[in-house]
Every structure is written in C-alpha cells, then in structure tokens.
C-alpha cells in the first residue's frame, strides 16, 4: 500500500527555523502487508510531541531513516494472521511502547518496562522485529516507537494498540497515547497523589498541562505550575493551577516554600527535560515527599544530587515512563474521565494542521509557540 509520510533522514544538524530547513521530507512510501498479530491502521490524527522534536534535534538518537510520529489514533482497515481482539473498523489509539504481555514486567503490571517493547523501539522495528516501511526505491525506513504516525497508513503490532469507543473524536483520542497518558499517569500512578495533597508541575508543555488536569482530577489541594514562559504560566491557570511560578526567578523556590506552602510540596512532577528544572522540582519537595521526572533530556545530561538530602529527609526521586500505565487499562479509563468532563484535554490543542505543514509545526513547538498541534488526515 502506498501512502504519504513525513520522513527524517538525519538526527540533529538541522538549522532553525525548521520551517525553512525542513528536516522532515514528505515522501510517498510503501507499507507492507501485516504479518502475524499485526494490522494496518488508517491514521486519522497525530500529535506533534517534544519526543519527536528530540529525535529531530539530536537529543534522542534513533536509527535513520525513520517515519516519525508516536501519538496517533485511527481505524483498522486490514488484519494480519492470528489477530485476536481487533476487527476491521475498530477505532484505536497507539501506545508508544508495545506491551508484549509475557515478559516479567508485563506480567507484573509494569507495561512501561516491557523488555521486548523497549528493544524493538530502540532498533526502530515492530515488536516482532519486522520492518514494514520502504521508499519507492525499495530502501528500508524505520518505525518510530512502533507507531510512525506521521503517515496516512501504518502497520502496527496489536500490542501497540488500544481499542476505544467510536464516539471519541480522533484528534482528542490521539492525545491519550502520549501527552495525557504520560502526564496524568505520572500524577496518579508514579507520584500517587492523594486527595488534599499539594503538587508542583514543572514544565508546561502538553504533558505538563495534562499533569495539571490529572492533579485536579485526583483532588490535589494546591496545584503549583512552574515554567520560565509567562504565556505558559497564564495558560496553566485555565487548566486548574492554583498558583504559578517562574522557576527561573531567583526567589521562586523561597516563594514556594515560605509563601505558597509551609515547607514544600508533597509531590512534584517534572517534564521540562532540563537539569535545572529537575533540581528545582526536587528542592521544592518537602521532607518525605516524592519527586517524579518524566522528561527525556539528552543522554549525556547528569543530575547533581546530595545523597545526604535523600537520606536525611527521606525524599524519593522516581522516574516515570509511559505514565507508569498499562495502556489497555488506563487509556479507556482516562478517556472516560474526559467524557465525564474531568479531563478537558481539548484545551491542549492549539493548532490543527495538514501533514504538509509539519515542519512549520515543529518550528512552533521548538520556539514555544504551541502546546499540542494535531495533524488531521482526511
């Protein structure tokens, strides 16, 4: 099957603005027939995420060439062999880490740590090791996180998919595959925010703003939003933040610990991807509290941490991937919260665009002018 796709041929080295250098090339590709436990999905909507941008700018090296895109939703149009639980016509959301269901982590309910899924993602292949994308010259293109959603159609493992109710708009459903699952999951699963607790969210992109929605839904008493962008701080109030802080200002930490709270927050979550942001989140957490980071900085980044603080104050520092979620369980549950009005994630969408406008979209994302932009496919 032939379809158009946005292809990245080189990690890093692209000059800004991306609207002019155009790191993503719109090409016609050929996707192969679905194999065992695979399906073909017609992509209907795909979100632009910082994780895609991190591949473009070199912060997340991946095998090249690659069809990018990992936050998407669509309709199953073709089944491979031995497909169970899915039918042609089903509406699905992609999870950006396939869950094999059989490794020690999947068996213990920690799908975010699936070993075969992580291996496949690192190698740019589907869960069974297949590559189903070629260009018109027969050259192989890699899959991005088992999704490659910046294309009209994609071959995917059924273990990368979650069936959803057909009533949800695709542009909304797509957000639950990354931004919402990661942000809300970090709050309710990793940090385990309880009713009445205070929460700090550092880094107010799509994931951070989703975390604010999650904190509000969880019943947090104080939700403090921190960023260095005044426009994002203003936006955070509309998402439910009770207080905002410019974390780049000299008095920000003092204001948080002495004026907004008595000694710091119960839980903090960080999604900025900068060591200064994680340092701020950790220092803003009170004794016995929990700091969670779900950001993906450059692989060479290092955090300077005094173990005496960790021990003497009994703080916890935790990593979070995939929102510590089990996608097949949590995506439908989170969608139900959206349906009931408790997760108004439609507020995240700032731009709707066509595939041909994708480089302009990533320039907006890199410059901080957008939160969630969604490519709408006809």
**Would 228 be classed as within a structural domain?**
yes
Position 299 scores a pLDDT of 87
- The whole-angstrom separation of Cα 91 and Cα 77 is 10
Spell out, as residue ranges, where the chain has pLDDT lower than 50.
Answer: none
Position 60 scores a pLDDT of 92
Q: Which domain holds residue 268?
A: 183-321
The number of C-alpha atoms within 13 Å of 212 and in the hemisphere containing its C-beta is 29
Are 237 and 360 members of one domain?
A: no
**Would 327 be classed as within a structural domain?**
no
Position 168 scores a pLDDT of 98
Q: Evaluate whether 286 touches 188 at the Cβ level (below 8 Å).
A: no
Place of tokens 């790191």: 23
Position 49 scores a pLDDT of 97
Number of neighbours of residue 108 by Cβ within 10 angstroms: 9
308 Cβ contact list (under 8 Å, min separation 6): none
First-to-last alpha carbon distance for the chain, in angstroms, is: 17
- The whole-angstrom separation of Cα 98 and Cα 94 is 9
Which of 44, 93, 370 minimizes the C-alpha distance to 209? 370
Are 193 and 238 members of one domain?
A: yes
Are 44 and 191 members of one domain?
A: no
Are 32 and 154 members of one domain?
A: yes
Position 196 scores a pLDDT of 98
Q: Are strands 316-319 and 140-143 parallel, antiparallel or unpaired?
A: unpaired
Position 362 scores a pLDDT of 98
- Give the torsion through C-alpha atoms of 246, 251, 254, 257, to 10 deg: -20
CATH number at residue 46: 3.90.180.10
Domain count, the chain: 2
312 Cβ contact list (under 8 Å, min separation 6): none
**pLDDT tens for residues 66-82?**
999 999 999 999 999 99
- Give the torsion through C-alpha atoms of 377, 71, 2, 98, to 10 deg: -150
């Amino acid at each position: 099957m032939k379809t158009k796709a946005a292809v990245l041929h080189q990690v890093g080295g692209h000059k800004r603005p991306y609207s002019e250098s155009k790191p993503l090339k719109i090409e016609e590709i050929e996707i192969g027939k679905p194999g065992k436990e695979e399906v073909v999905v017609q992509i209907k909507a795909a979100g632009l995420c910082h994780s895609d941008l991190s591949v473009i700018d070199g912060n997340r090296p991946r095998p090249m060439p690659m069809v990018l895109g990992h936050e998407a939703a669509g309709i199953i149009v073709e089944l491979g062999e031995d497909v169970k639980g899915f039918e042609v016509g089903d509406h699905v959301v992609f999870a950006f880490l396939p869950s094999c269901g059989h490794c020690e982590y999947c068996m213990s309910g920690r799908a975010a740590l699936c070993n075969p899924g992580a291996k496949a993602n690192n190698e740019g292949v589907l869960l069974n090791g297949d590559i189903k994308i070629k260009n018109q010259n027969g050259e192989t293109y890699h899959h991005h996180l088992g999704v490659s959603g910046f294309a009209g159609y994609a071959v995917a493992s059924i273990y990368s998919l979650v069936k959803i109710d057909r009533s949800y708009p695709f542009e909304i459903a797509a957000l639950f595959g990354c931004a919402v699952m990661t942000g809300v999951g970090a709050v309710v699963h990793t940090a385990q925010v309880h009713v009445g607790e205070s929460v700090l969210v550092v880094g107010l992109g799509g994931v951070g703003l989703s975390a604010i929605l999650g904190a509000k839904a969880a019943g947090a008493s104080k939700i403090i939003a921190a960023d260095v962008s005044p426009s994002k701080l203003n936006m955070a109030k509309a998402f439910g933040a009770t207080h905002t802080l410019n974390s780049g200002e000299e008095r920000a930490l003092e204001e948080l610990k002495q004026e907004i709270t008595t000694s710091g927050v119960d839980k903090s979550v960080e999604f900025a991807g900068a060591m200064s942001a994680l340092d701020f989140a950790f220092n803003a957490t009170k004794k016995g509290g929990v700091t969670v980071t779900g950001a993906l900085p450059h692989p060479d980044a290092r955090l300077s941490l005094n173990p005496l603080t960790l021990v003497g104050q009994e703080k916890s520092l935790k990593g979070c991937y995939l929102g510590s979620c089990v996608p097949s369980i949590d995506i439908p549950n989170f969608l139900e919260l959206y349906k009931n009005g408790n997760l108004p994630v439609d507020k995240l969408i700032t731009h709707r665009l066509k595939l041909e406008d994708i480089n302009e979209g990533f320039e907006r994302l890199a410059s901080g002018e957008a939160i969630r932009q969604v490519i709408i496919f006809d």
